Amino acid sequence: MGLRKRRGRRGRKPEYSAAQPALQAPVLTKLRSMEGFYMTRKTAGAVVLALVLALVAPGFTQPFADVPTNHWAYDAIAELAAKGLIEGYPDGTFKGNQPLTRYEMAMVVARIIARIEAIPTPPPPEVRRADLDAVRRDLTAATGRIAVTERDIAALQRLVNEFRAELQALGVRVTALEEELQALRARLDNTRVTGLFDAWYVVNQLAGTNAIPIWPRFRLQFTGTVAPDVSVFIRPRWFSNTGNQFVLDYDLGYLEVRNFLGWEGLTLRAGRDRLTLGAVVGLLLSEPSYDPAHRTGVSLTGSLGPFRFLAFTQFADPTNAFGPTVYGGRLSFGLLPGWTLGVNGRWDRNVLGTTQQGQGFSADLVADLVSGLRLRVEYASYSNDTLGQQGNYLFADLTFNLAQLAGMETFNPVITVWYKNYDVNWLPAPAPGLVPGNFTAYGWPFVTIGNRDDLNTFGARLDLTLFENVGVWVASEFGNIKSTNQSWNLWFAGARWEIAPRTPIMVYYANTQVAGTNTFQTYGAYISTSW
Protein backbone atom coordinates (compact mmCIF):
# COMPACT_ATOMS: atom_id res chain seq x y z
CA MET A 1 0.00 0.00 0.00
CA GLY A 2 1.58 3.28 -1.06
CA LEU A 3 1.22 6.63 0.64
CA ARG A 4 1.13 9.96 -1.20
CA LYS A 5 0.99 13.48 0.12
CA ARG A 6 -1.70 15.64 -1.42
CA ARG A 7 -1.89 19.39 -1.28
CA GLY A 8 -5.37 20.84 -0.95
CA ARG A 9 -6.35 23.79 -3.06
CA ARG A 10 -5.65 26.21 -0.27
CA GLY A 11 -2.27 24.59 0.36
CA ARG A 12 -1.06 25.06 -3.20
CA LYS A 13 1.69 27.66 -3.44
CA PRO A 14 0.94 30.45 -5.88
CA GLU A 15 3.10 30.93 -8.91
CA TYR A 16 4.96 34.17 -9.37
CA SER A 17 6.06 35.80 -12.56
CA ALA A 18 9.83 35.84 -13.11
CA ALA A 19 9.42 39.31 -14.58
CA GLN A 20 8.82 40.87 -11.16
CA PRO A 21 12.13 40.94 -9.25
CA ALA A 22 11.13 44.14 -7.50
CA LEU A 23 8.20 42.42 -5.83
CA GLN A 24 10.16 39.28 -4.99
CA ALA A 25 12.47 41.25 -2.72
CA PRO A 26 11.48 42.00 -0.11
CA VAL A 27 7.66 41.64 -0.41
CA LEU A 28 7.43 38.19 -1.98
CA THR A 29 10.18 36.88 0.29
CA LYS A 30 8.04 37.73 3.29
CA LEU A 31 4.91 36.54 1.53
CA ARG A 32 6.44 33.17 0.77
CA SER A 33 7.78 32.74 4.29
CA MET A 34 4.35 33.54 5.73
CA GLU A 35 2.67 31.26 3.21
CA GLY A 36 5.09 28.52 4.26
CA PHE A 37 3.65 28.92 7.75
CA TYR A 38 0.18 28.70 6.23
CA MET A 39 1.03 25.52 4.31
CA THR A 40 2.60 23.96 7.41
CA ARG A 41 -0.71 24.28 9.24
CA LYS A 42 -2.80 22.99 6.36
CA THR A 43 -0.56 19.94 5.68
CA ALA A 44 0.26 19.19 9.31
CA GLY A 45 -1.57 15.86 9.19
CA ALA A 46 0.40 14.61 6.18
CA VAL A 47 3.74 15.81 7.61
CA VAL A 48 3.17 14.19 10.99
CA LEU A 49 2.05 10.98 9.31
CA ALA A 50 5.30 10.95 7.31
CA LEU A 51 7.28 11.49 10.52
CA VAL A 52 5.47 8.61 12.18
CA LEU A 53 6.30 6.30 9.30
CA ALA A 54 9.89 7.57 9.28
CA LEU A 55 10.53 6.54 12.90
CA VAL A 56 12.07 3.21 11.95
CA ALA A 57 12.99 0.85 14.76
CA PRO A 58 16.73 0.19 15.22
CA GLY A 59 16.43 -3.30 13.80
CA PHE A 60 13.77 -5.63 12.48
CA THR A 61 13.23 -9.26 13.27
CA GLN A 62 11.21 -11.39 10.91
CA PRO A 63 7.64 -10.37 11.89
CA PHE A 64 5.63 -13.15 10.25
CA ALA A 65 6.50 -16.73 9.43
CA ASP A 66 4.97 -16.62 5.94
CA VAL A 67 6.79 -13.45 4.77
CA PRO A 68 10.24 -14.39 3.43
CA THR A 69 13.07 -11.92 3.93
CA ASN A 70 13.64 -11.66 0.17
CA HIS A 71 10.03 -10.60 -0.54
CA TRP A 72 9.75 -7.19 -2.25
CA ALA A 73 7.40 -5.91 0.49
CA TYR A 74 9.34 -7.35 3.42
CA ASP A 75 10.87 -4.04 4.64
CA ALA A 76 7.54 -2.18 4.57
CA ILE A 77 5.72 -5.02 6.39
CA ALA A 78 8.48 -5.27 8.99
CA GLU A 79 8.46 -1.52 9.59
CA LEU A 80 4.68 -1.34 10.06
CA ALA A 81 4.70 -4.36 12.34
CA ALA A 82 7.57 -2.96 14.45
CA LYS A 83 5.57 0.19 15.02
CA GLY A 84 2.48 -1.74 16.01
CA LEU A 85 0.40 -0.51 13.09
CA ILE A 86 -0.35 -3.98 11.72
CA GLU A 87 -0.69 -7.35 13.45
CA GLY A 88 -0.75 -10.86 12.06
CA TYR A 89 -3.05 -13.75 12.74
CA PRO A 90 -2.91 -15.82 15.97
CA ASP A 91 -0.88 -18.52 14.23
CA GLY A 92 1.92 -15.98 13.52
CA THR A 93 1.23 -15.62 9.80
CA PHE A 94 0.53 -12.48 7.73
CA LYS A 95 -1.50 -14.01 4.86
CA GLY A 96 -0.35 -11.34 2.42
CA ASN A 97 -2.37 -12.73 -0.49
CA GLN A 98 -5.66 -12.48 1.39
CA PRO A 99 -7.85 -9.36 0.69
CA LEU A 100 -7.84 -6.64 3.37
CA THR A 101 -11.29 -6.09 4.92
CA ARG A 102 -12.67 -2.65 5.72
CA TYR A 103 -12.54 -3.47 9.44
CA GLU A 104 -8.85 -4.36 9.21
CA MET A 105 -8.15 -1.15 7.34
CA ALA A 106 -10.08 0.82 9.97
CA MET A 107 -7.84 -0.66 12.68
CA VAL A 108 -4.71 0.47 10.82
CA VAL A 109 -6.08 4.01 10.40
CA ALA A 110 -7.12 4.15 14.07
CA ARG A 111 -3.61 3.20 15.17
CA ILE A 112 -2.06 5.83 12.91
CA ILE A 113 -4.41 8.50 14.32
CA ALA A 114 -3.52 7.44 17.86
CA ARG A 115 0.18 7.81 17.06
CA ILE A 116 -0.35 11.24 15.53
CA GLU A 117 -2.40 12.45 18.52
CA ALA A 118 0.33 11.28 20.89
CA ILE A 119 2.97 13.43 19.20
CA PRO A 120 3.26 16.84 20.91
CA THR A 121 2.45 19.69 18.53
CA PRO A 122 5.25 22.27 18.34
CA PRO A 123 4.20 25.89 18.86
CA PRO A 124 3.62 27.82 15.63
CA PRO A 125 6.25 30.29 14.50
CA GLU A 126 5.91 33.65 16.22
CA VAL A 127 4.36 36.28 13.97
CA ARG A 128 5.07 39.68 15.44
CA ARG A 129 3.16 42.87 14.85
CA ALA A 130 6.38 44.41 13.53
CA ASP A 131 6.61 41.72 10.82
CA LEU A 132 3.10 42.48 9.61
CA ASP A 133 3.76 46.21 9.67
CA ALA A 134 6.91 45.65 7.62
CA VAL A 135 4.95 43.74 4.98
CA ARG A 136 2.38 46.54 4.89
CA ARG A 137 5.09 49.18 4.48
CA ASP A 138 6.69 47.22 1.66
CA LEU A 139 3.36 46.86 -0.12
CA THR A 140 2.56 50.54 0.29
CA ALA A 141 5.97 51.59 -0.96
CA ALA A 142 5.72 49.18 -3.88
CA THR A 143 2.31 50.40 -5.02
CA GLY A 144 2.63 52.38 -8.20
CA ARG A 145 6.19 51.34 -9.07
CA ILE A 146 5.94 47.55 -9.51
CA ALA A 147 3.66 45.19 -11.38
CA VAL A 148 1.64 43.17 -8.85
CA THR A 149 -0.15 40.15 -10.28
CA GLU A 150 -3.58 38.88 -9.35
CA ARG A 151 -1.90 35.74 -7.96
CA ASP A 152 0.17 37.85 -5.54
CA ILE A 153 -2.94 39.59 -4.25
CA ALA A 154 -4.85 36.30 -4.02
CA ALA A 155 -2.02 34.80 -1.95
CA LEU A 156 -2.10 37.73 0.46
CA GLN A 157 -5.89 37.53 0.71
CA ARG A 158 -5.61 33.82 1.48
CA LEU A 159 -3.17 34.57 4.29
CA VAL A 160 -5.48 37.22 5.73
CA ASN A 161 -8.44 34.80 5.62
CA GLU A 162 -6.44 31.99 7.23
CA PHE A 163 -4.98 34.07 10.06
CA ARG A 164 -7.93 36.41 10.63
CA ALA A 165 -8.31 35.47 14.30
CA GLU A 166 -4.56 35.63 14.96
CA LEU A 167 -4.24 39.01 13.25
CA GLN A 168 -7.09 40.45 15.28
CA ALA A 169 -5.53 39.06 18.47
CA LEU A 170 -2.33 40.91 17.57
CA GLY A 171 -4.31 44.13 17.25
CA VAL A 172 -4.08 44.25 13.45
CA ARG A 173 -7.08 45.81 11.68
CA VAL A 174 -8.04 43.05 9.26
CA THR A 175 -10.52 45.35 7.53
CA ALA A 176 -7.75 47.81 6.81
CA LEU A 177 -5.52 45.05 5.41
CA GLU A 178 -8.34 43.91 3.12
CA GLU A 179 -8.93 47.46 1.97
CA GLU A 180 -5.26 47.72 1.06
CA LEU A 181 -5.49 44.48 -0.91
CA GLN A 182 -8.56 45.82 -2.65
CA ALA A 183 -6.65 48.96 -3.54
CA LEU A 184 -3.79 46.85 -4.94
CA ARG A 185 -6.24 44.77 -6.96
CA ALA A 186 -7.86 47.91 -8.29
CA ARG A 187 -4.50 49.12 -9.59
CA LEU A 188 -4.36 46.17 -11.95
CA ASP A 189 -6.96 48.08 -13.94
CA ASN A 190 -7.68 51.71 -13.11
CA THR A 191 -11.29 51.33 -14.28
CA ARG A 192 -13.32 48.30 -13.36
CA VAL A 193 -16.75 47.66 -14.91
CA THR A 194 -19.48 45.39 -13.53
CA GLY A 195 -23.12 45.16 -14.47
CA LEU A 196 -26.64 43.98 -13.69
CA PHE A 197 -29.64 43.17 -15.85
CA ASP A 198 -33.02 42.28 -14.42
CA ALA A 199 -36.65 42.34 -15.52
CA TRP A 200 -40.14 41.97 -13.97
CA TYR A 201 -43.28 40.52 -15.45
CA VAL A 202 -46.33 41.41 -13.34
CA VAL A 203 -50.05 40.71 -13.74
CA ASN A 204 -52.44 42.56 -11.45
CA GLN A 205 -55.72 40.65 -11.31
CA LEU A 206 -57.90 43.29 -9.67
CA ALA A 207 -61.00 44.15 -11.70
CA GLY A 208 -60.44 47.10 -13.99
CA THR A 209 -56.68 47.21 -13.46
CA ASN A 210 -55.41 44.26 -15.49
CA ALA A 211 -52.08 45.76 -16.47
CA ILE A 212 -49.20 43.61 -17.72
CA PRO A 213 -46.11 45.82 -17.48
CA ILE A 214 -42.63 44.54 -18.22
CA TRP A 215 -40.02 46.49 -16.32
CA PRO A 216 -36.48 45.83 -17.58
CA ARG A 217 -33.51 47.47 -15.93
CA PHE A 218 -29.89 47.62 -17.04
CA ARG A 219 -27.15 48.99 -14.78
CA LEU A 220 -23.42 49.44 -15.26
CA GLN A 221 -21.08 50.11 -12.37
CA PHE A 222 -17.82 51.94 -13.05
CA THR A 223 -15.13 52.04 -10.37
CA GLY A 224 -12.15 54.23 -11.21
CA THR A 225 -9.02 54.07 -9.07
CA VAL A 226 -7.38 57.45 -8.67
CA ALA A 227 -4.86 56.52 -5.96
CA PRO A 228 -4.44 53.61 -3.49
CA ASP A 229 -7.03 55.14 -1.15
CA VAL A 230 -9.07 57.22 -3.60
CA SER A 231 -11.68 55.98 -6.08
CA VAL A 232 -14.70 57.22 -8.00
CA PHE A 233 -17.87 55.18 -8.38
CA ILE A 234 -20.81 55.81 -10.72
CA ARG A 235 -23.81 53.62 -11.56
CA PRO A 236 -25.78 54.72 -14.64
CA ARG A 237 -28.98 52.82 -15.39
CA TRP A 238 -31.60 52.45 -18.08
CA PHE A 239 -34.99 51.19 -16.91
CA SER A 240 -38.72 51.18 -17.48
CA ASN A 241 -40.85 52.74 -14.75
CA THR A 242 -44.40 51.85 -13.75
CA GLY A 243 -45.77 53.92 -16.62
CA ASN A 244 -43.71 51.95 -19.14
CA GLN A 245 -41.62 55.04 -19.80
CA PHE A 246 -37.92 54.42 -20.35
CA VAL A 247 -35.57 56.43 -18.16
CA LEU A 248 -31.82 56.95 -18.43
CA ASP A 249 -30.14 58.38 -15.33
CA TYR A 250 -27.76 57.38 -12.56
CA ASP A 251 -28.71 56.49 -9.00
CA LEU A 252 -25.21 56.36 -7.48
CA GLY A 253 -22.14 58.48 -8.09
CA TYR A 254 -19.61 59.46 -5.47
CA LEU A 255 -15.96 60.06 -4.62
CA GLU A 256 -14.61 57.71 -1.94
CA VAL A 257 -11.51 58.42 0.15
CA ARG A 258 -10.34 55.66 2.49
CA ASN A 259 -8.12 56.24 5.52
CA PHE A 260 -9.31 59.84 5.41
CA LEU A 261 -7.06 62.33 7.24
CA GLY A 262 -4.70 59.47 8.02
CA TRP A 263 -7.31 57.78 10.26
CA GLU A 264 -7.07 54.07 9.51
CA GLY A 265 -10.46 52.71 8.42
CA LEU A 266 -12.16 56.12 8.19
CA THR A 267 -13.96 56.44 4.84
CA LEU A 268 -15.34 59.62 3.29
CA ARG A 269 -17.97 59.56 0.54
CA ALA A 270 -19.13 62.67 -1.28
CA GLY A 271 -21.82 62.60 -3.95
CA ARG A 272 -25.06 60.73 -4.69
CA ASP A 273 -25.41 57.80 -2.32
CA ARG A 274 -28.07 55.65 -0.64
CA LEU A 275 -28.04 55.17 3.12
CA THR A 276 -29.88 53.11 5.72
CA LEU A 277 -30.43 53.74 9.43
CA GLY A 278 -31.20 50.45 11.14
CA ALA A 279 -29.76 46.94 10.82
CA VAL A 280 -33.10 45.11 10.49
CA VAL A 281 -35.69 47.07 8.45
CA GLY A 282 -34.42 50.64 8.32
CA LEU A 283 -37.53 52.13 9.91
CA LEU A 284 -35.94 55.55 10.28
CA LEU A 285 -34.29 55.70 6.85
CA SER A 286 -34.01 53.14 4.05
CA GLU A 287 -33.15 54.82 0.77
CA PRO A 288 -32.32 51.57 -1.11
CA SER A 289 -35.99 50.55 -0.76
CA TYR A 290 -37.17 53.79 -2.36
CA ASP A 291 -36.01 53.92 -5.95
CA PRO A 292 -36.43 57.65 -6.77
CA ALA A 293 -34.51 58.79 -3.67
CA HIS A 294 -31.65 60.53 -5.49
CA ARG A 295 -29.90 62.52 -2.83
CA THR A 296 -26.47 64.11 -2.73
CA GLY A 297 -24.40 64.59 0.38
CA VAL A 298 -21.38 63.62 2.45
CA SER A 299 -20.90 60.64 4.78
CA LEU A 300 -18.20 59.36 7.12
CA THR A 301 -17.90 55.75 8.31
CA GLY A 302 -15.30 54.21 10.55
CA SER A 303 -14.43 52.61 13.87
CA LEU A 304 -13.50 53.98 17.26
CA GLY A 305 -12.41 51.17 19.54
CA PRO A 306 -15.28 48.64 19.68
CA PHE A 307 -17.72 51.10 18.08
CA ARG A 308 -18.69 51.47 14.41
CA PHE A 309 -20.14 54.81 13.38
CA LEU A 310 -21.83 56.58 10.47
CA ALA A 311 -22.41 60.33 10.18
CA PHE A 312 -23.94 62.02 7.13
CA THR A 313 -25.82 64.94 5.68
CA GLN A 314 -27.85 64.92 2.46
CA PHE A 315 -29.38 67.62 0.31
CA ALA A 316 -32.17 67.44 -2.25
CA ASP A 317 -31.26 67.25 -5.91
CA PRO A 318 -32.74 70.05 -8.02
CA THR A 319 -34.55 67.50 -10.20
CA ASN A 320 -36.81 66.08 -7.49
CA ALA A 321 -39.19 67.34 -4.83
CA PHE A 322 -37.27 66.22 -1.75
CA GLY A 323 -36.74 69.56 -0.11
CA PRO A 324 -35.42 69.14 3.42
CA THR A 325 -31.81 68.62 4.31
CA VAL A 326 -31.35 65.36 6.21
CA TYR A 327 -28.78 64.92 8.96
CA GLY A 328 -28.26 61.52 10.51
CA GLY A 329 -25.96 59.05 12.15
CA ARG A 330 -25.56 55.56 13.54
CA LEU A 331 -23.46 54.03 16.33
CA SER A 332 -23.18 50.26 16.78
CA PHE A 333 -21.12 47.93 18.94
CA GLY A 334 -20.98 44.29 20.00
CA LEU A 335 -22.57 43.55 23.34
CA LEU A 336 -21.52 39.89 23.27
CA PRO A 337 -20.14 37.59 20.58
CA GLY A 338 -22.90 37.43 17.98
CA TRP A 339 -24.88 40.28 19.59
CA THR A 340 -24.84 43.74 17.97
CA LEU A 341 -26.69 46.80 19.26
CA GLY A 342 -27.18 49.94 17.19
CA VAL A 343 -28.69 53.39 17.81
CA ASN A 344 -29.69 55.81 15.05
CA GLY A 345 -30.76 59.44 14.73
CA ARG A 346 -32.35 61.51 11.95
CA TRP A 347 -33.08 65.24 11.68
CA ASP A 348 -34.95 66.90 8.79
CA ARG A 349 -34.37 70.64 8.43
CA ASN A 350 -35.14 73.33 5.85
CA VAL A 351 -34.24 76.98 6.38
CA LEU A 352 -37.07 78.10 4.07
CA GLY A 353 -39.66 76.23 6.10
CA THR A 354 -41.47 75.09 2.96
CA THR A 355 -41.17 71.33 3.54
CA GLN A 356 -41.87 68.94 6.35
CA GLN A 357 -39.43 69.03 9.24
CA GLY A 358 -38.92 66.77 12.22
CA GLN A 359 -36.61 64.42 14.07
CA GLY A 360 -36.52 60.85 15.29
CA PHE A 361 -34.40 58.08 16.72
CA SER A 362 -34.28 54.30 16.52
CA ALA A 363 -32.50 51.32 18.07
CA ASP A 364 -31.88 47.82 16.78
CA LEU A 365 -30.54 44.54 18.12
CA VAL A 366 -29.33 41.50 16.17
CA ALA A 367 -28.53 38.50 18.38
CA ASP A 368 -27.47 34.95 17.55
CA LEU A 369 -29.02 33.26 20.59
CA VAL A 370 -27.67 29.82 19.68
CA SER A 371 -26.47 28.30 16.44
CA GLY A 372 -29.44 28.43 14.07
CA LEU A 373 -31.59 30.77 16.18
CA ARG A 374 -31.43 34.52 15.46
CA LEU A 375 -33.40 37.35 17.05
CA ARG A 376 -33.78 40.79 15.44
CA VAL A 377 -35.57 43.79 16.92
CA GLU A 378 -35.90 47.37 15.67
CA TYR A 379 -37.83 50.27 17.20
CA ALA A 380 -38.20 53.82 15.83
CA SER A 381 -39.99 56.98 16.89
CA TYR A 382 -40.40 60.12 14.78
CA SER A 383 -41.96 63.54 15.42
CA ASN A 384 -43.14 65.53 12.41
CA ASP A 385 -42.98 69.16 13.56
CA THR A 386 -44.67 70.55 10.47
CA LEU A 387 -47.76 68.34 10.79
CA GLY A 388 -47.70 68.08 14.56
CA GLN A 389 -47.79 64.26 14.42
CA GLN A 390 -45.70 61.57 16.04
CA GLY A 391 -45.37 57.90 15.09
CA ASN A 392 -43.89 54.85 16.78
CA TYR A 393 -42.79 51.75 14.89
CA LEU A 394 -41.74 48.32 16.17
CA PHE A 395 -40.56 45.26 14.27
CA ALA A 396 -39.23 41.97 15.66
CA ASP A 397 -38.57 38.57 14.14
CA LEU A 398 -37.14 35.22 15.18
CA THR A 399 -35.54 32.88 12.65
CA PHE A 400 -35.22 29.12 13.23
CA ASN A 401 -32.73 27.31 10.98
CA LEU A 402 -33.88 23.76 11.66
CA ALA A 403 -30.91 22.21 9.87
CA GLN A 404 -28.61 23.78 12.47
CA LEU A 405 -30.96 23.55 15.44
CA ALA A 406 -32.31 20.02 15.00
CA GLY A 407 -30.22 18.44 12.26
CA MET A 408 -33.15 18.48 9.82
CA GLU A 409 -31.02 18.63 6.69
CA THR A 410 -33.77 17.34 4.37
CA PHE A 411 -34.99 20.45 2.52
CA ASN A 412 -33.02 22.64 5.02
CA PRO A 413 -36.19 24.20 6.48
CA VAL A 414 -36.01 27.75 7.81
CA ILE A 415 -38.95 29.24 9.72
CA THR A 416 -39.27 32.95 10.48
CA VAL A 417 -41.97 34.47 12.67
CA TRP A 418 -42.42 38.21 13.15
CA TYR A 419 -44.46 40.93 14.82
CA LYS A 420 -45.09 44.48 13.58
CA ASN A 421 -46.73 47.45 15.28
CA TYR A 422 -46.59 50.51 13.02
CA ASP A 423 -48.34 53.84 13.37
CA VAL A 424 -49.19 55.91 10.31
CA ASN A 425 -46.00 56.91 8.52
CA TRP A 426 -45.23 60.57 9.34
CA LEU A 427 -41.65 60.59 8.10
CA PRO A 428 -40.96 62.89 5.15
CA ALA A 429 -39.17 61.65 2.06
CA PRO A 430 -36.70 60.11 1.44
CA ALA A 431 -38.89 57.20 2.44
CA PRO A 432 -38.02 54.99 5.42
CA GLY A 433 -38.34 51.24 5.49
CA LEU A 434 -42.14 51.51 5.68
CA VAL A 435 -44.15 52.90 2.78
CA PRO A 436 -47.74 54.18 3.13
CA GLY A 437 -50.34 52.10 1.35
CA ASN A 438 -48.06 49.33 0.02
CA PHE A 439 -48.35 45.80 1.30
CA THR A 440 -45.56 43.86 2.92
CA ALA A 441 -44.16 40.59 1.67
CA TYR A 442 -41.54 39.39 4.11
CA GLY A 443 -38.25 38.94 2.30
CA TRP A 444 -39.63 40.44 -0.89
CA PRO A 445 -36.82 41.01 -3.42
CA PHE A 446 -38.33 43.97 -5.27
CA VAL A 447 -38.05 47.62 -4.34
CA THR A 448 -41.55 48.35 -5.69
CA ILE A 449 -43.22 46.58 -2.75
CA GLY A 450 -42.25 47.68 0.71
CA ASN A 451 -43.27 47.58 4.34
CA ARG A 452 -46.80 48.98 4.76
CA ASP A 453 -47.50 51.41 7.61
CA ASP A 454 -50.54 51.56 9.96
CA LEU A 455 -50.46 47.86 10.90
CA ASN A 456 -50.57 45.65 13.99
CA THR A 457 -49.82 42.15 12.68
CA PHE A 458 -48.16 38.79 13.18
CA GLY A 459 -46.60 36.76 10.39
CA ALA A 460 -44.68 33.62 9.51
CA ARG A 461 -42.63 32.37 6.59
CA LEU A 462 -41.30 28.93 5.66
CA ASP A 463 -38.35 28.47 3.28
CA LEU A 464 -37.42 25.06 1.82
CA THR A 465 -34.48 24.04 -0.37
CA LEU A 466 -35.74 21.37 -2.76
CA PHE A 467 -32.49 21.04 -4.68
CA GLU A 468 -29.12 22.77 -4.53
CA ASN A 469 -30.34 25.53 -6.85
CA VAL A 470 -34.12 25.41 -6.28
CA GLY A 471 -36.01 26.79 -3.30
CA VAL A 472 -39.62 27.63 -2.43
CA TRP A 473 -41.27 29.76 0.23
CA VAL A 474 -44.73 30.51 1.60
CA ALA A 475 -45.65 33.35 3.97
CA SER A 476 -48.72 34.75 5.69
CA GLU A 477 -49.44 37.85 7.74
CA PHE A 478 -52.60 38.63 9.67
CA GLY A 479 -53.81 41.36 12.02
CA ASN A 480 -55.55 44.68 11.63
CA ILE A 481 -55.12 48.18 10.22
CA LYS A 482 -54.66 50.36 13.30
CA SER A 483 -56.44 53.54 12.21
CA THR A 484 -59.63 51.78 11.00
CA ASN A 485 -59.48 48.51 13.00
CA GLN A 486 -60.20 46.60 9.79
CA SER A 487 -58.79 43.09 9.41
CA TRP A 488 -55.65 42.63 7.34
CA ASN A 489 -54.51 39.38 5.70
CA LEU A 490 -51.63 38.60 3.37
CA TRP A 491 -50.72 35.39 1.53
CA PHE A 492 -47.50 35.13 -0.39
CA ALA A 493 -45.79 32.18 -2.09
CA GLY A 494 -42.99 31.78 -4.57
CA ALA A 495 -40.09 29.78 -5.92
CA ARG A 496 -36.50 30.57 -6.86
CA TRP A 497 -34.45 28.65 -9.44
CA GLU A 498 -30.82 29.57 -10.06
CA ILE A 499 -30.46 28.53 -13.67
CA ALA A 500 -26.80 29.59 -13.78
CA PRO A 501 -24.32 31.23 -11.39
CA ARG A 502 -25.68 34.65 -10.30
CA THR A 503 -28.72 34.15 -12.55
CA PRO A 504 -31.89 33.39 -10.57
CA ILE A 505 -35.48 33.22 -11.80
CA MET A 506 -38.27 33.86 -9.29
CA VAL A 507 -42.01 33.34 -9.68
CA TYR A 508 -44.56 34.41 -7.09
CA TYR A 509 -48.19 34.89 -6.13
CA ALA A 510 -49.45 37.43 -3.59
CA ASN A 511 -52.90 38.30 -2.25
CA THR A 512 -53.98 40.86 0.36
CA GLN A 513 -57.38 41.32 1.95
CA VAL A 514 -58.81 44.22 3.95
CA ALA A 515 -62.01 43.48 5.88
CA GLY A 516 -62.35 40.23 3.90
CA THR A 517 -62.17 41.94 0.49
CA ASN A 518 -59.31 41.40 -1.95
CA THR A 519 -57.37 44.63 -2.34
CA PHE A 520 -54.29 43.34 -4.12
CA GLN A 521 -53.92 40.12 -6.09
CA THR A 522 -50.96 39.61 -8.36
CA TYR A 523 -48.57 37.08 -9.81
CA GLY A 524 -45.41 37.52 -11.78
CA ALA A 525 -41.82 36.57 -12.49
CA TYR A 526 -38.42 38.12 -12.00
CA ILE A 527 -35.05 37.31 -13.57
CA SER A 528 -31.66 38.86 -12.96
CA THR A 529 -28.03 38.32 -13.83
CA SER A 530 -24.86 40.12 -12.84
CA TRP A 531 -21.25 40.12 -13.94
pLDDT in tens, 82-92: 777 677 777 77
Average pLDDT taken over every residue of the chain: 75
| pLDDT tens for each residue of 405-461 | 988 888 999 999 999 999 998 887 655 656 554 434 444 444 334 567 899 999 999
For residue 390, the model assigns a pLDDT of 94
Beta strands in 174-305 (DSSP E): 191-204, 214-227, 230-240, 246-258, 267-273, 276-277, 285-286, 295-304
Q: Give the mean model confidence (pLDDT) for residues 290-294.
A: 56
Of 304-308, 312-316, 347-351, 502-506, least confident by mean pLDDT is 347-351
Q: Which DSSP category does 172 fall into?
A: -
Q: What is the dihedral of CA 25, 30, 33, 37, to 10 degrees?
A: -160
For residue 133, the model assigns a pLDDT of 64
pLDDT band at 377 (very low <50, low <70, confident <90, very high): very high
Q: Which DSSP category does 468 fall into?
A: T
Query: What burial class does residue 319 get, using C-beta atoms within 10 Å of its C-beta: 0-12 exposed, 13-18 middle, 19+ buried?
Result: exposed
Q: Is the peptide bond before 124 cis (omega within 30 degrees of 0)?
A: no
For residue 67, the model assigns a pLDDT of 75
Alpha-carbon distance of 217 to 250, in angstroms, equals 12
pLDDT band at 397 (very low <50, low <70, confident <90, very high): very high
Of 56-65, 225-234, 409-418, 516-525, least confident by mean pLDDT is 56-65
Residue 483 has pLDDT above 60, yes or no: yes
Alpha-carbon distance of 165 to 171, in angstroms, equals 10
In angstroms and rounded to an integer, the radius of gyration of the C-alpha atoms of the chain is 31
Give the number of other Cβ atoms within 10 Å of residue 246's Cβ: 9
| pLDDT tens for each residue of 450-462 | 567 899 999 999 9
Q: Which DSSP category does 259 fall into?
A: S
Give the number of other Cβ atoms within 10 Å of residue 432's Cβ: 32
For residue 505, the model assigns a pLDDT of 93
Alpha-carbon distance of 356 to 434, in angstroms, equals 17
> Residue 109 region, left (φ>0) first, then alpha (ψ -120 to 50), else beta?
alpha
Would you say 400 and 296 are in contact if contact means Cβ atoms under 8 Å apart?
Answer: no
Instruction: Please give the full DSSP string across 147-165, using - where no structure is assigned.
Output: ---HHHHHHHHHHHHHTHH
For residue 200, the model assigns a pLDDT of 79
Write the CB contacts of 353 (distance below 8 Å, at least 6 apart in sequence). none
Quick one: three-class SS letters along 361-388? EEEEEEEEEECCEEEEEEEEEEEECCCC
Q: Give the mean model confidence (pLDDT) for residues 120-143.
A: 60
Would you say 199 and 166 are in contact if contact means Cβ atoms under 8 Å apart?
Answer: no
Alpha-carbon distance of 275 to 261, in angstroms, equals 23
Longest alpha-carbon distance in the chain: 104
Of 352-356, 478-482, 521-525, least confident by mean pLDDT is 352-356
For residue 23, the model assigns a pLDDT of 36
For residue 12, the model assigns a pLDDT of 40
For residue 416, the model assigns a pLDDT of 94
For residue 268, the model assigns a pLDDT of 97
Residue 28 has pLDDT above 60, yes or no: no
> Buried b vs exposed e over 249-273: b needs ≥16 C-beta within 10 Å?
eebbbbbbbbbbeeeebbbbbebbb
pLDDT band at 153 (very low <50, low <70, confident <90, very high): low
Alpha-carbon distance of 238 to 250, in angstroms, equals 8
Q: How many residues does the chain have?
A: 531
| pLDDT tens for each residue of 206-231 | 644 545 556 788 889 999 988 889 99
SS3 content of the chain, % helix, strand, coil (to 5): 20, 40, 35
For residue 440, the model assigns a pLDDT of 42
Would you say 372 and 401 are in contact if contact means Cβ atoms under 8 Å apart?
Answer: yes
Higher pLDDT, 96 or 138: 96
For residue 239, the model assigns a pLDDT of 77
Alpha-carbon distance of 425 to 130, in angstroms, equals 54
Residue 188 has pLDDT above 60, yes or no: no
Instruction: Please give the full DSSP string across 35-88, using - where no structure is assigned.
Output: HHHHHHHHTHHHHHHHHHHH---S------TTS-TTSTTHHHHHHHHHTTS---
